[in-house]
Copies of this chain bind each other. A is one copy, B any other.
Amino acid sequence: MTEHDPSLATVAAFKAGMARVPGAVHIVTTDGPAGRAGLTATAVCSVTTDPPTLLVCVNETSSVGQAFISNEAVAINTVGPEFTSLAMLFGGKTPMEERFAASDWAVAASGAPRHLGAAASFDTRVVGGQAVGSHRVLFCEVIDVTLGDDPTPCVYHDRAFKVLTSL
Interface residue ranges, A against B (CB under 8 Å): 1-2, 4-5, 7-11, 13-18, 20-24, 42-53, 55, 57, 78, 81, 84, 119-122, 128, 130, 132-135, 137, 139, 141-147, 151, 153, 155, 157-158, 160-167
The reply to whether B167 and A161 form a contact with Cβ atoms under 8 Å apart is yes
Indicate if the CB atoms of B167 and A162 lie closer than 8 Å: yes
A9 touches B143 (CB 8 A): yes
A13 and B50 CA atoms in complex are apart in Å by 13
- Which residues on B sit within 8 Å (CB–CB) of A163? 164-165, 167
A-B pairs with beta carbons under 8 Å apart, 6 shown: A20-B147, A21-B44, A22-B153, A155-B155, A157-B164, A164-B165
CB distance from A22 to the nearest CB of B (A): 5
CA distance A143 to B143 in the complex (A): 37
Query: Please, which residue of chain B has its CB at the minimum distance from the CB of A80?
Result: B20
Complex: A52 Cα to B73 Cα, angstroms: 28
Chain B residue nearest to A5 (CB atoms) is B51
Q: What is the count of identical protomers in the complex?
A: 2
Beyond the given A137-B137, A163-B165, please list 4 additional residue pairs across the A-B interface where CB-CB is below 8 A: A8-B51, A20-B147, A22-B164, A47-B133
Q: Please, how many angstroms separate the alpha-carbon atoms of A20 and B44 in the complex? A: 13
Bound Cα distance from A71 to B45, whole angstroms: 23
Q: Are B162 and A164 in contact (CB under 8 A)?
A: yes
Contact of A78 with B167 at beta-carbon distance under 8 Å, contacts A7-B143, A141-B8 already known: no
Given the interface pairs A17-B147, A21-B153, the reply to whether A9 lies near B52 with Cβ below 8 Å is: yes
